[in-house]
Amino acid sequence: MSTRQRILATALESFGTTGVDGTSLDALARDLDLAKQSILYHFNSKQILFQAVVDEAASEFIAELDSEVDGVDPNDVLAQVESAVRVVFRLALQRPALLGLLREASRPGSSVAVQLTGRLSHHIDAAQGALEHALSDGRVAGTNARLLLFSLYSTIMGVATEVEVMRAMGVEPSLRTLAERRTELLRFLEAALVPQTISAGVTS
Partner DNA sequence: TTTGTCCTCTACCAATTGGTAGACGGCCGC
Partner DNA sequence: GCGGCCGTCTACCAATTGGTAGAGGACAAA
Cα separation, 158 vs 179, in Å, equals 16
Instruction: Sort 176 into a burial class: Cβ within 10 Å, 0-12 / 13-18 / 19+.
Output: exposed
**C-alpha distance across the termini of the chain, in Å:** 60
By C-beta, is 35 or 194 nearer to its own copies? 194
By C-beta, is 41 or 150 nearer to DNA? 41
By C-beta, is 32 or 156 nearer to its own copies? 156
Residue among 9, 18, 25, 166 that touches DNA (CB under 7 A)? 25
Contact stretch for its own copies (CB under 8 A) within 26-34, 43-51, 60-68, 183-191: 183-191
Does residue 24 bind DNA (CB under 7 A)?
Answer: yes
| Whole-Å CA distances, 195 to 26, 78, 156, 184, 192 | 54, 12, 20, 19, 8
Partner whose footprint covers residue 17, from its own copies, DNA, none (CB < 5 to 8 Å by kind): its own copies
Does residue 113 bind DNA (CB under 7 A)?
Answer: no
